[in-house]
Every structure is written in C-alpha cells, then in structure tokens.
Amino acid sequence: MKTKPARLRLNDLTGLVRQGAIDTVIGAFTDHYGRLMGKRFDAGFFLSHVAQEGTHACNYLLTTDAEMEPVPGYAFANWELGYGDFHLIPDLSTIRRLSWQDRTAFVHCDVDHVPVAPRNILKRQRARAAGAGYEAMAASELEYYVFKTSYRDAAKQDYRNLEPLGWYLEDYNILQGSREEFYTGAVRRHLRDSGIVVENSKGEWGLGQHEVNVMYGPALTMADDHALYKQCLKEVADQCGVAVTFMAKQANGQAGSGCHIHLSLRKGGKNAFAGNKQVGPVQGSDAFRWFLGGWLAHVNDFMVFYAPTINSYKRFEDQSWAPTRLAWSHDNRTAGFRVVGSGQSLRIECRIPGADVNPYLVFAAALASGLDGIARKIEPPAVFEGDVYAARQLARVPYTLAEAVDHFESSAFAAEALGADVVEHYAHFYRSEQRAFERAVTDWERRRYFERI
C-alpha cells in the first residue's frame, strides 16, 4: 500500500486541499516557554493569502507569563506602545500533515524582524556556524511523566494525588512500558506518520516516566521537531484521557525529567569532530576539543536557557541522574557533559537541560558557546573519571533561577553572542518569573508554618 507523504511541498498541500484531504493549516511559533502559539487557517485561505503574504499576531505573545498575562517592563512591547502586531512568515519548507489532527497540516513560522523570537535566535547562531563552514547537527532526548488522570481532572484536583501510569521504577523495563503502550505507541506512530523519524521509546527512572527519542539531524530542524513532538505528546495525552508533564522536577523523591542534548558539527559532509588527536580518552579534532571547551566555559552565561523555570533547579540533586557539577567525561552519566560515539558518530551530550527548555534557546546557547570555543581555541579541563557527584572540588551548576539570571544579565559574552537587547529582554522575563514565585504562598509554607509558628 502506498503511504501518504507526511512532509509536504506547497504543491503537495495544494493538491491535498483540492482533494478535500486537508482543510486546516496551523501556523505557529514558540513563545519564551517553548509553547506553540499561532492560528488555524482555512486551508484555501492559507494557500491564497498566508503562504505568500504571511499573517499577523499580537506582539504581547513575547511578553506574557505562563498564565498569558502581559508582563510590564519590556522595551519590545508594552501598554505604552499599545501591543501591536508582528508579522509571521510561514517557513514553507516545514509544511507537514499532522496525523493526530483530522485533515490538518502544520507549518512553523518565523516572527519577522523580531530579534527576541526564539527561532530567530537559533537561526542567527546557525548563520554564524555556516559562516565558519559548519552545519550544526543535534538531537534532544525529552523525558516526561504520564498520569492516569486527564488534564482537566488534574486541574480540578489542583494537581495533587495524581496516579502515575507505572507503579514501580521502569527504566528500560519492557513490562511497564507495555502497560503504557496504548499512549506511547500512539505517540510513536503519530510522529512517524507526521514526518518526525522516531528511533525508540523507553521507560525512565521514575514512576510513569518515559522518553521518546527522534532522529539526529540539523539543529534548526531538530528544534522544530522538538517543539512539535512535545505538542504531539500533550495532544495525544488529551485524546487518551491521561496527562503528561514536562516539569523538570514533578515530585520530591522522584527523578527529574531531563532534555539531554547531543550536538556535533559537520563540515564538507563529514563530522568535523572526528579526528586523530587525543583528548583524554577520546580521539577527536581540534574543533571537537575547542567546542567542548567553549561549551563548558559558558555554562553559567546561558544557564537560564538550560534551566528556565523556578522548578528547573529542583532537579539538580546528587545521585539523581541530573548533573550537579561542571565536568566532562567519556560515557559517564554523572557528568554534565558526556562524550559519546567515535569517528563519524562522535558527539557531545550535555545533560544539564531539563524537559522544560525551549529547544531553540537551548540549541542557540550550545552553539554560541561552542563556536566561541573554536574561535578562541578554548581548551577543556582535563577529563574527569569517577563519580562527579562526589567531586566536591568541582564548580557547581547554579542552583537557583535568581543566581542564573545574575550570571546571564552580567555576561559580556551573552550580550556579544545574542545582542544586548536580547539579553535585556530575557533577563526581564526570567526575573519576572522569579518575582512571581517570591510572591506566592506555597503548600510547603502552609504545612510548615500554619500551626507550628
């Protein structure tokens, strides 16, 4: 049987619209949190107008908090400027069917002439890499927890006492995975049928914790796929009557959810990290060595992109599979940077990011850092062997959002790499998140102080 193509050219979409196979096109971009924002278009209108002219959306979408409240204090958009529109340009190379939505296609959009838009930030770093003769290749391993409760019922329960799909640790456990296959299997098939190549899914080290891994590819394509497959996971959860969360730390005593990212550079169609120079126990090129050195050197400059929420920092616990100190090792999961593969498969895995990251920002941070390492020939520290958790002499990752924002806001390198206006915009975003938390009264405070103080 002939399969229907998932990734579409504009001519393909036109034919499917004429046949009545597609009647809706979603055009979307990500906000700061990595959530897809946009519109559903009548497919005929998309073809006759939006594909050529683009569309518009309110610019407050890049100034809101998680509750969609506009936050004052941004120079880019504010009440004084009247919250006007920005122009969205569909990237027609990203059109695809969505198999989990009826008669629906999807296209990623660029926010025209808006430097703070996440996809634009990554595209600028990709252009820098291209200027040096490199193409960035990447993958993200997105972990999540699944609960038997629907999203609506979870909200009614104030997100308390939710029952996970698994009831004992299921890391690589096929039996536990089989119990969750009604959901995870549906996700794998929908991603495949929507043009995202899935490698595998597996249980993780938590109750009801899983991950789905998709194929390594160009960094911008991977960021686009990450945003969409996260959306798929949520929407299919809705359809299955379960809830999935990408919180970096969803409960005390449970493993956090990471988004380990793998990255390498290609040059002339080959892996630019491959080489015969010894870097600790690894054989690689100068580009590999210096990229690793730059990435490590600039972690603090971009920690807000790796750990963007208050909750992100609850994940950094010793012996929790999340990294707590800055070191690199060869195939060692206690290190923040784990070098894996060899020859043409040689790549760097950064284990610091959590599942709550915006993929465009995290890849942009990694690429800016590594390219600076190559440009300045930054040497990495000596390889670490052994238990990084026990190595108290090593520098820690920042342990709070407030600390991370301080590093980011004062970083001359971040301003140079991203632009001072972008740093100012995102520093305000993260400080607003921090202040919102500081004003909140938590369950922990009520339990601790209601009677005893």
Domain count across the chain:
2
Domain's final residue, options 86, 114, 142: 114
Give the residue from 426, 346, 395, 374 showing the smallest Cα distance to 116. 426
Reply yes or no on whether the pLDDT at 1 is more than 50. no
pLDDT at 5: 66
Spatial contact of 216 and 262, defined as CB atoms under 8 Å apart: yes
Reply yes or no on whether the pLDDT at 132 is more than 90. yes
Dist. CA 356–CA 353, nearest whole Å: 8
pLDDT digits (tens, 9 = 90+) for 99-111: 999 999 999 999 9
pLDDT digits (tens, 9 = 90+) for 245-289: 999 999 988 899 999 999 999 999 999 999 999 999 999 999 999
Domain's final residue, options 114, 143, 174: 114
Work out the burial of residue 394: count CB atoms within 10 Å of its CB; fewer than 13 is exposed, 13-18 middle, 19 or more buried: middle
Residues 6+ apart with CB under 8 A from 98: 26, 104, 105, 106, 190, 194, 232
Query: pLDDT tier at 93 (50, 70, 90 boundaries)?
Result: very high
Say if 1 falls within a structural domain.
no
pLDDT at 387: 85
Say if 5 falls within a structural domain.
no
237 and 335 part of one domain: yes
Spatial contact of 395 and 326, defined as CB atoms under 8 Å apart: yes
Q: Which domain holds residue 138?
A: 124-449
DSSP 212: E
CATH number at residue 144: 3.30.590.10
Reply yes or no on whether the pLDDT at 57 is more than 90. yes
168 and 260 part of one domain: yes
pLDDT digits (tens, 9 = 90+) for 147-189: 999 999 999 999 999 999 988 888 888 998 888 999 999 999 9
Give the residue from 202, 204, 171 showing the smallest Cα distance to 187. 202
- The pLDDT of 387-400, averaged and rounded, is 87
30 and 166 part of one domain: no
Dihedral angle, C-alpha 380, 386, 388, 393, nearest 10 °: -80
- The pLDDT of 306-326, averaged and rounded, is 89
128 and 104 part of one domain: no
Dist. CA 175–CA 152, nearest whole Å: 28
Dihedral angle, C-alpha 363, 369, 373, 378, nearest 10 °: -130
Domain's final residue, options 62, 92, 114: 114
Q: Of the ranges 125-129, 346-350, 396-400, 431-435, which one carries the lowest mean pLDDT score?
A: 396-400
Dist. CA 16–CA 43, nearest whole Å: 10
pLDDT digits (tens, 9 = 90+) for 61-92: 999 999 999 999 999 999 999 999 999 999 99
Spatial contact of 6 and 27, defined as CB atoms under 8 Å apart: no
59 and 151 part of one domain: no
pLDDT at 75: 93
Task: Give the predicted TM-score (pTM) of the model.
Answer: 0.95
Say if 4 falls within a structural domain.
no
Say if 209 falls within a structural domain.
yes
Query: pLDDT tier at 2 (50, 70, 90 boundaries)?
Result: very low
Give the residue from 436, 428, 277, 249 showing the smallest Cα distance to 346. 277
163 and 92 part of one domain: no
pLDDT at 426: 98
- The pLDDT of 350-355, averaged and rounded, is 95
Reply yes or no on whether the pLDDT at 42 is more than 90. yes
- Backbone φ and ψ for 211, nearest 5 degrees, come out as -150, 150
CATH number at residue 101: 3.10.20.70
Q: Among residues of the chain, what percentage have pLDDT more than 90?
A: 85
